[in-house]
């Protein structure tokens, strides 16, 4: 028997200052559509990373908006809005305790293709 994973769909990623490229790679390789929010102190890195990855995706014929990100974080309410949005299938969060607790509290307990999706990866 061979099991083949299927994409979760839209993934909202909370990105600390250290690993935006890795999270983009994980989400895209799994055939998911990521939306990222970088740490305030690293938003310039997140913006640059987003532009570079988008140009690579375009070069390979992928949709231009497959990868999206919040260009300038203005409030925690905006993050909560994304994390609780019905269209978000999965929260990808690493970082401090408060960040991970917020992801756990998002309510992203959905099932897709018969498999239970963890709310936090």
Return the SS3 of 70: coil
| 6 part of a folded domain | no
For the segment 47-69, the average pLDDT, to the nearest whole number, is: 90
Q: Among 62, 71, 113, 73, which residue's Cα sits nearest to residue 90?
A: 113
| 96 part of a folded domain | yes
| 50 part of a folded domain | yes
d(CA 94, CA 96): 7
Contact 8, 87 (CB under 8 A): no
Q: How far is CA 107 from the centre of its chain?
A: 15
| 4 part of a folded domain | no
Instruction: Please count the structural domains in the chain.
Output: 1
Task: Report the share of the chain in percent with pLDDT over 70.
Answer: 83
pLDDT digits (tens, 9 = 90+) for 62-107: 987 899 988 887 778 888 888 888 888 888 877 777 777 777 777 6
pLDDT digits (tens, 9 = 90+) for 112-121: 443 334 434 4
Strand partners, 12: 35, 91
Return the SS3 of 51: helix
């Amino acid at each position: 028997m061979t099991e083949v994973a299927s994409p979760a769909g839209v993934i909202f990623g909370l990105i600390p200052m250290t690993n935006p490229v890795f999270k983009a790679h994980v989400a895209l390789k799994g055939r998911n559509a990521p939306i990222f929010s970088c740490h305030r102190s690293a938003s310039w890195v997140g913006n640059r990373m987003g532009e570079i990855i988008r140009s690579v995706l375009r070069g390979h014929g992928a949709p231009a908006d497959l990868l999206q990100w919040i260009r300038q974080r203005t409030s925690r309410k905006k993050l909560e809005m994304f994390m609780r949005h019905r269209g978000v299938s999965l929260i990808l969060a690493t970082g401090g305790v408060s960040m991970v607790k917020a992801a756990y509290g998002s309510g992203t307990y959905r099932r897709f293709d018969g498999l239970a999706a963890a709310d936090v990866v």
